Structure 1
Amino acid sequence: MMNNILNTPDLRILLIKLRHHGDMLLTTPVINSLRQRLPGAQIDVLLYEETRDMLAAHPAINTIYGIDRKWKQLGTLKHLQKEWQLLCALRARQYHLVINLADQWRSAIVTRFTGAPVRLGFGFNKRKNAFWRFCHTELVSVANHNALHTVEQNLSILSPLSVPPVSTVTMSYSADDWNVARQQLAAQGISDRYIVIQPTSRWFFKCWDENKMAQTITALRQEGHTIVLTAGPDKKELSMVDRILSASPQTGVISLAGQLSLRQLASLIDHADLFIGVDSVPMHMAAALQTPCVALFGPSKLTFWSPWQVNGEVIWAGNFGPLPDPDAVDTKTSERYLDAIPVDAVVDAAKRCLA
């Protein structure tokens, strides 16, 4: 039945992943694999609403369903109504195949409620119980996941199906997204060539010293490059960009921090000569877009989260000093674990990528 289901006319597939922005981007190889093997299938996705931008322009996706975590603010009754409406909408689609990449109970319940005849999930160690098995028709082993990149982990869900893996990560955006970004550049006097630098992450322990970033910008300006700084809209991130700007050359360096959507940022990165950034969503976007990239990496698990198929160089802080165990990091710490990385290492890598 497993592979017979793929021959179903008007095949409908639901992919479930309830995580952060970067996680959503790294599900695209699964979507791309399904599309290549099943060109006529309708592929829907269930995600957290705030991550919609990561997949909204993907050409292979039919419909995106979102769980809005703000529903909790509506009160218990309205929250439950929203959840029930979503469940009913998914069940009404009469999916033939549900692929649950998530590890939450909620995702398992949704998977079971769809009534799909084939429901794949992972046999997570923390979910070894009868109810998790009841929600899925087959569980895929995670025994070798510790040695695999997140992309490879995701693709392993397809092992029970005759779907050859396509390992390409895809970051999609529209012509309108690029028009907005290009207008923002033009308003600041930039017409064509530039370098994008994303110095911030929502986790500040993943960030590099502001003065070192300013020194890197100064060195690149001396080579004649125009610099565009980007960041999320969070006040802490904007303050960090302001500190970097104040220590950087006053010409040829602009900020679009907090001014672009994720898809607009993707278009900006796609048209850049180079991307320099820390371990964050834009770093994964740059790798997906094959923009020349210098990625500064700290205590995150390199095996799982290094930029996939990056066109450039990954500079790991662990090569310059000791790093804590990734599982032991306090995410609220004020430590900057990337600070061991010297300016010269980043500037030299940038020059190699630009050569």
Structure 2
Amino acid sequence: MGIQRFIDLWKHRYNKYILQQYVPAWRFIQSYLLVRWVKLNNPKKQIIGVLLAEHFGDIVAAEPLSRIIKQKYPDSKVFWIVRKPFRELIDSNPNIDYTIEETNLYQSILTSRHHNFDIFYNLHMPELRLHIPTLTFLTNPYAEQLGIHVKNYFEFGNLLEVFAKVGGLPLSQETPKVYISENDKQKIDQQALPQKFVAIHCHSNFSPKDWQTYHWENLIQRLYTLGYHVVEVGLKSSLNQSLPGYINCCGKFSLLQTAEIIRRAQFFMGVDSGPAHLANAVGTYGLLLFGKFVHFDKYLPYSGGYATNNAIMITDGQKPCADLPFEVVWEVVEKHIQSTSKS
């Protein structure tokens, strides 16, 4: 064996066994010991674990379940397992006592198999999260018993309903909440945003759910002629940065600061993605661009306000969102602006 082959072999072994298995196993042991310590110090309290590590729209959608758990078990300590990019949503939630950070999917696989919680709610769907180095799925036997999986979950209701069902929790139709601190509000105060603006979000984590960039740019120009600035939120922008009235806030603010930006908007426009769940949580009226998504010709992810009277779903038959004609969208936007200007 040549020296380079030897180096490559040990790099592979280091990544597969040390980084991808042993380190997550140690993190699992740490969290196991933390739960044990909390049990010893709170012998009369029930210790509850919740696993929903990603993505942030799902975590926002599932927030009412944290309230349901605390109402059901008021004398309890609740742990929530979450990935680092989304933990501020959990850290800020007063219904959750401890945050366990998922550093690797294998850590959560071990937790689901060997946890020491008194009660454990796994809110993940089976066949969705695969630990590639070991080719191991994060399973959910209860969801499998119900026949809920990644290809049919929207047949069982909105996201909140689905999470409640796969976790064995009571069903709820409440609007989710996010818990924005005064520091985050002050941070947005300092940005001197225009008084009259529309918040938009253009990109999901699945491109067929996205509307065409040139349509967004056309929309921004038309809104500007009606006196609206447009503030884009999200991770990154692909829009023309020099458009009049356009403000790029992508990648500059935390999740809760982004929620505060959306809260201050006259209305929110976006595709089916995390910021739309934030908009639902803060109560900002939504114009939401939808279409056929993988196996689902028609679906509704939201509970509460966005499922009833605080949003309009803009669709065009069974076309994917990427194929939505501009005029179909603009007609709805124009009607909404006219109706709000009269009130």
- Alignment of 1:344 with 2:331, yes or no, is yes
The one-letter code of the counterpart of 2:323 is Y
Q: Where does residue 161 of structure 2 map in the other structure?
A: 152
One-letter amino acid matched to 1:100: N
Supply the AA of the counterpart residue of 1:221: Y
Distance 1:304 1:254, change over 3 A: closer
2:87 to 39, 46, 52: 52
Deviation at 1:99, TM superposition (A): 1.0
| Structure 1: distance between partners of 2:257 and 2:207 | 23
What is the aligned partner in structure 1 of residue 269 from structure 2?
A: 276
Offset of 1:33 from its aligned partner? 0.8
Instruction: State the identity as a percent.
Output: 20
Mapped contact 1:284–1:308 kept (Cα < 8 A):
no
Residue 142 of structure 2 is matched in structure 1 by 123
> SS at 2:93's partner residue?
coil
Preserved CA contact (<8 Å) 1:292 1:353: no
Answer whether contact 1:194 1:226 (CA < 8 A) is retained.
yes
Is the contact between residue 266 and residue 286 of structure 1 (CA under 8 Å) also seen in structure 2?
yes
Q: Equivalent residues in 2 for 1:159-174 (5 A)?
A: 165=172, 167-174=174-181
* 1:256 and 2:243 are equivalent in the alignment: no
Pick one of 66, 78, 91 that aligns with 1:31: 66
Q: 2:301 aligns with which of 302, 305, 308?
A: 305
Letter of the 1:67 counterpart: E
State the shift of 1:295 in Å: 0.9
Deviates more, 1:283-292 or 1:170-179: 170-179
| Contact 1:228–1:255 (CA under 8 A) maintained in structure 2 | yes
Equivalent AA in structure 2 for residue 261 of structure 1 = S
Structure 2 SS opposite 1:305: coil
* 1:278-330 alpha-carbon deviations (Å, 9 max, x no partner): 111001110121111111112234435256531533333333xx426xxxxxx
TM-score, normalised to structure 1, is: 0.67
Residues 146-295 of structure 1: pairs in structure 2 closer than 5 A: 146-157=155-166, 165=172, 167-183=174-190, 185-186=191-192, 190=193, 192-233=195-236, 238=237, 240-241=238-239, 243=240, 245-246=241-242, 248=243, 250=244, 252-295=245-288
Asked whether the equivalents of residues 206 and 278 of structure 1 are also in contact (C-alpha less than 8 Å), the reply is yes
Alpha-carbon distance, 1:140 to partner: 6.0
Q: Is the 8 A contact 2:202 2:270 kept in 1?
A: yes
CA deviation vs aligned residue, 1:113-172 (integer Å, no higher than 9, x gap): xxxxxxxx65334xxxxxxxxxxxxx667599624112112223565x7x6746331222
TM-score of the superposed pair, with normalisation by structure 2: 0.69
Alignment deviations for residues 235-285 of structure 1 (CA, whole Å, 9 cap, x no partner): xxx2x12x2x44x4x2x3322122111111011112222111111100111
SS of the equivalent of 1:61 reads coil
Q: What's the C-alpha RMSD, in Å, of the aligned pairs?
A: 3.5
- Long gaps (5+) in structure 2: 1-42, 130-139
